[in-house]
Amino acid sequence: MDVRALVGFNLRRLRIAHELSQEGVGLMAGFEPSYVGRIERGTENVTVGTLDRLATVLQVPVSAFFTVPAEGEAKPLVLKPGRKRKTSSAAKQ
């Protein structure tokens, strides 16, 4: 696994563990959501400054992006889709 793919794998793993969308991480870090997606796909060559901003949002050390996954470890699952708010029956009246 090349380093860009490794960083992308770990960004997705950490983002999903924090139950954050790409959009949420992007907004909190000051990036476009599509940029976060490109990092996760391994198509962006990110800077140390970018990693620092992402680490701050995810509350992890920058080194967390360089953790090598265990042999055969699957990619993290995606978050459940949808942005609907749960409303109480009282609010509907």
Per residue of the chain (93 residues), what is the pLDDT tens digit?
789 999 999 999 999 999 899 999 999 999 988 999 999 999 999 999 999 999 999 999 999 999 998 777 767 766 665 553 444 444 444
CATH number for the domain whose boundaries are 1-64: 1.10.260.40
65 within 8 A of 7, measured Cβ to Cβ: yes
Residue whose pair of structure tokens reads 């090349």 in the numeric block: 2
Is pTM beyond 0.95 here?
Answer: no
Domains of the chain, by residue range, sit at 1-64
